[in-house]
A and B are shown apart, each in its own frame.
Chain A
Amino acid sequence: MSSSKNRYDRLKNLGGGEKEAEILSDEWIQAPDGSWIRSSDKAAKKLARKGKIAAPAEPESAENGEAPEPRRWFSRKSSAEKKREEEELRQLEAERKERLDKQQAEEFERHAERERKRKAELEREIEQERLAKLEKESAAERERQAELERERQRKADLEFMAEVERTRAREIEEEFERERARVAELQREVEQERQRQAELARKAEEERARQSELAREAERERQRLAELEREAELNRTSSKDSGYFRGSGSGTSFDEATIGNNSPTSSGGFWGAGTGSGTGFADDTISSGSSYWDSASGSGSASWDSGAASDPWAASKDDSWDSGTAEGAGSEGTYWRAPDADGTLTDLPPADTKKKRKSKAKTSPAPSAPAGPSMAFIPPRRKRSAGERIVSGAIATGLVLATLAIGGGLRWLGPDPERVQRPFVTSGEQGETVSLRKFAITVQTAKAVSTVQSGGSAHDSQGVWVVLRVRVVASNEPGTVSYVALRDHSGRTFLATDRLGQPLLDGKRTFQPGIPLEGEVVFEVPKDALGGLTALFAPDPALLSMEAMASVDLPALSVLADQSSATLGAAEVRP
């Protein structure tokens, strides 16, 4: 049942049709003259009565046979009508209320349904959020577990590294300890060495002091001997007869069997050191010069007797020296004997007898500094005369000069290093392939031009450009051809020009084995160098010595009128 939207409709539906019919019956009708009038007008009624127009239809009083309502005035209602209207209004109100209730119930039900749906939606969203949250928490937990795992792994690594570091530290500590012990050992050794050096220095000092003491005593002894000799000489001059002289005083005795006996065959003449407390000297022939020192005790001719504490040679009794003649008295071959460890006398090389004799005439050949048992006795160095020193210096200088002369001569006679270390040149002609150890090269063409086109610009020259087209292929390993030069007939050498970029042999290009490359090489030479040019190629300009070099003789070149310019092309691989 459709409900009316306004009160008029509802009243019409509720039975207000009578009034409406009445109102509607007052309709417009057309008069015979064509005008329109209301059917309720008097004119209309009059015309209807006259039959000029159709009488308006009378409204039916009642369909259900009810009595028509009494006529009433306009806008006046009877009480019954008012009651009926009130009743109708109440009914309408009740119906309206019922509809409203029903609508409210429906609305409430729809609202409840929406609320349920919304609640379900909310629950679903909450569930999804909860699930998402759980998922997120689970992921976070997994991440945390992974992080913990990584942390454990990192901790294990760190512990391992720490263990390694501890081990290394222990090793370093042990090494340091060993090093410290070694340093301490070295310090101890150094200290011992220092003590030993100090001991040696002290011994050396004592030895020097002892030697100086001995030297002084020997000097005193020589002076005393000289004194005795002078006394003997005085005695000899005072008495022509043979006799002997016995020294006295200070415990030293001297026997001269044949003082003044100049017989070279006499074996009885000697200076004898007595067996007393002194030092004995024997000189069988003092005046003859064939003298000797004999320390062999009891030899009959002379002896150093070590029996006395005051004997200056007491400390060196094992270092006895014996001088004598190799072929008897009077011989020129004076020798020295040095005792071995077992006391055997060993002959030393003979010295210059004349010098010895000369020195004997001055002083006795007494050792100036006898050494101890472990030290060799060094005979006193004879002071050389000025002439001897000059001669010796001249000889030494001459030897040095001779050595230098021999060296210079050998150098002059020897081979020339430049010639020996010259490059190993392999020669060829233009168009011929010259194979070296590292590469093979072929000079295909050669021409002389006055202008070279390179890189879009022309290059002039005060001389002449020489352009060679060459083909290069490496042999067995990658290599370069860095030395490229022209040599003219007068020996002048011209390197490849650097005024423009060399397309092929720029020193930087590496040639691979078996891949031939062709290109131009440009030189700038004087005009007078065009005849008899030779092209030289080598791997490295810094190592030309004893290195392979290709030499290609070029034909005589000249600048042709129709070929006064050349254009450089790029290097290219050619089969």
Chain B
Amino acid sequence: MNQTNFFKRNLWGLVALLPVTAAFGIVALDRTGYFDVRSPGQAVTAEPTQWVAYSDAKLRLLNLVTTADLYDGEAKPVKLPDQVRAWRAVIEIQVSDQRSLDGCQLSLEDSAGRVFGTQPSELSAVRMPPPTCTAEDKGLNTYQVTVLFVTPAEAKPVAVRVMRPAALPAYARLPAA
């Protein structure tokens, strides 16, 4: 009885061993969090006001300014604390199919590297549309979206980030002028 005969006799067993080993490997990797949602780590950027190609779309930051034009549902002005400043970002988007930007998340990056999210609780009284990268008319190919952020008064925003989970770890970084 020699080695060749052993492998020939157990050929199917050895073949079946491969998927079993792969399954154990996948389970082990999953337990280490290998398949968890990755975090954004690869910025796609361009010069200020220039287009950034990301997720089958082109985006650019048209405007990023502080704003005090904040009104509640009864059209009454909303006053923020002195330590907080509101920012309004206008992003222009060119896309052939808006579904390629579904589920995108917007955030504001300041000079200290801090990231501020949308719909802050400080603006819970302000009437504003939900932050999204798509237009109400899904047939549009070029449109603008407006997003509000709040930061500490001393913060200096430098860019707006656009992140889509399906495109991770890449994210679009739209620098401010």
Report A's interface with B, CB cutoff 8 A. 348, 376, 476-478, 509-516, 572-575
Distance, CA A514 to CA B112, complexed state (A): 11
Q: Are A514 and B151 in contact (CB under 8 A)?
A: yes
Interchain CB contact under 8 A, B117 and A515: no
Nearest 9 CB-CB pairings of A with B: A478-B117, A514-B152, A513-B114, A573-B81, A477-B115, A509-B121, A575-B83, A476-B114, A512-B120
12 A-B pairs in the complex with CB atoms less than 8 angstroms apart: A376-B1, A476-B114, A477-B114, A510-B117, A510-B121, A512-B122, A513-B116, A514-B151, A514-B155, A515-B151, A573-B84, A573-B122
CA distance A477 to B117 in the complex (A): 8
Interface digits, B79-117 against A, CB 8 Å rule (1 contact, 0 not)? 001011000000000000000000000010000011111
Which of the residues B1, B84, B119 comes within 8 Å of A515, measured between beta carbons?
A: B84
CA distance A191 to B81 in the complex (A): 80
Return A219 CB to nearest CB of chain B, in Å: 24
In the docked arrangement, what's the CA distance between A512 and B122, Å?
Answer: 9
Q: In the assembly, what is the distance between CA of A515 and CA of B84, in Å?
A: 7
CB distance from A378 to the nearest CB of B (A): 8
Interface positions of B from 22 to 57, Cβ below 8 Å from A: none
Query: Across the interface, which residues of A come within 8 angstroms of B116, CB to CB?
Result: 478, 512-513
B residues less than 8 Å from A513 (CB atoms): 114-116, 152
Interface presence of B150 (CB below 8 A): yes
- B: number of interface residues (CB 8 Å): 21
Instruction: Kindly identify, within residues 136 to 176 of chain B, every residue whose CB is under 8 Å from any CB belonging to chain A.
Output: 150-152, 154-155
B-side residues, CB < 8 A to A, are 1-2, 5, 81, 83-84, 107, 113-117, 119-122, 150-152, 154-155
Contact B120 A510 (CB under 8 A): yes
Given contacts A512-B151, A572-B81, 18 further A-B contacts (CB under 8 A): A376-B1, A376-B2, A476-B114, A477-B115, A478-B115, A478-B120, A511-B121, A512-B116, A512-B120, A512-B122, A513-B115, A513-B152, A514-B114, A515-B83, A515-B120, A515-B122, A515-B150, A515-B152
CA A534 to CA B77, docked complex, whole Å: 42
Query: Which residue of chain A lies nearest to B118 when distances are taken between CB atoms in the complex?
Result: A478
Residues of A within 8 A of B152 (CB): 513-515
Which chain A residues lie closer than 8 Å to B83 at the CB level?
Answer: 515-516, 573-575
Report B-chain residues with C-beta under 8 Å of the C-beta of A509: 121
| Chain B residue, CB-CB nearest to A378 | B1
CB contacts (< 8 Å) of B120 on chain A: these are 478, 510, 512, 515
Give the distance in Å from the alpha carbon of A572 to the alpha carbon of B150 in the complex.
15
User: Closest Cβ of chain B: how far from A478's Cβ, in Å?
Assistant: 4
Residue of A nearest to B5 (CB): A376
Which residues on A sit within 8 Å (CB–CB) of B122? Answer: 512, 515, 573
Say how far B70's CB is from chain A's closest CB, in angstroms: 15
Contact A512 B117 (CB under 8 A): yes
Kindly report which residue of chain A lies nearest to residue B9, judged by CB atoms.
A376
Least distance between A341 CB and chain B CB atoms (Å)? 11
> Do B151 and A476 have beta carbons less than 8 Å apart?
no
Which residues of A sit under 8 angstroms from B81, Cβ to Cβ?
572-573
Residue pair B150, A512 in contact (C-beta under 8 Å): yes
Closest Cβ neighbor of A473 among chain B residues: B152
- Within 8 Å CB of A348, what residues of B? 1
- Please give the distance in Å from B135's CB to the nearest CB on chain A: 23
Chain B: minimal CB distance from A338 (Å): 8
Complex Cα distance, B87 from A407, in Å, reads 60
Chain B residues with CB under 8 A of A515:
83-84, 120, 122, 150-152
Contact residues in A for B117 (Cβ distance below 8 Å): 477-478, 510, 512
Which of B151, B152, B154 counts the most chain A CB atoms within 10 A?
A: B152
**B114 cross-chain contacts in A, Cβ below 8 A:** 476-477, 513-514
Closest A residue to B8 using CB positions: A376
Q: Could you say which residues of chain B place their CB within 8 Å of the CB of A478?
A: 107, 115-117, 120
A365: shortest Cβ distance to chain B, in Å? 16
For the complex formed, measure the closest distance between the CB of A382 and the CB atoms of chain B, giving whole angstroms: 16
A328 to chain B, nearest CB (A): 26
Closest residue of chain A to B115 (Cβ to Cβ) is A477
B119, B121, B154 interface centre (most CB from chain A within 10 Å): B121
Return the chain A residue nearest B116 by Cβ.
Answer: A512
In the complex, the chain B residue whose C-beta lies closest to that of A349 is B1
Nearest B residue to A379 via CB reads B1
